[in-house]
């Protein structure tokens, strides 16, 4: 999943590949726009998944500002990835 800014630069990257390599190709079909927090909340709904989502958010907040490579930063990265997977499972994206 890519953020909105990264998605907007895909055409630029594609042109660079074409300019540098004779057969430069880039398959962007598996790429998805990173969901917003509201979209993730909507997929989680209420109940157990909402509780899981809130705990993951707590893990991300706890790691904000932590030095790169620290245990807190690593846990925050895992929590963020888990939130994205929760959204992916809930929406069926990638199936």
**12 with 54, same domain?**
no
Quick one: what percent of the chain has pLDDT higher than 90?
0
Q: Mean pLDDT check: name the lowest of 17-26, 34-43, 85-94.
A: 17-26
Range of the domain at 5: 1-34
| Confidence band for 81, pLDDT divided at 50, 70 and 90 | confident
pLDDT at position 57, please? 87
This prediction has a pTM of: 0.60
pLDDT at position 95, please? 55
Evaluate whether 86 touches 53 at the Cβ level (below 8 Å).
Answer: yes
pLDDT at position 23, please? 65
Give the residue, 22 or 88, on which the prediction is more confident. Answer: 88
Number of structural domains (the chain) is: 2
**51 with 91, same domain?**
yes
């Amino acid at each position: 999943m890519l953020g909105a800014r990264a998605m907007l630069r895909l055409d630029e990257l594609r042109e660079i590949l074409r300019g540098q390599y004779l057969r430069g190709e880039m398959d962007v079909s598996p790429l998805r726009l990173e969901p917003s927090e509201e979209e993730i909340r909507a997929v989680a709904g209420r109940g157990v998944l909402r509780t899981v989502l809130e705990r993951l958010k707590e893990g991300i907040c706890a790691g904000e500002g932590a030095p790169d490579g620290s245990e807190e930063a690593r846990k925050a990265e895992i929590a963020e990835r888990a939130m994205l997977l929760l959204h992916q499972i809930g929406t069926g994206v990638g199936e």
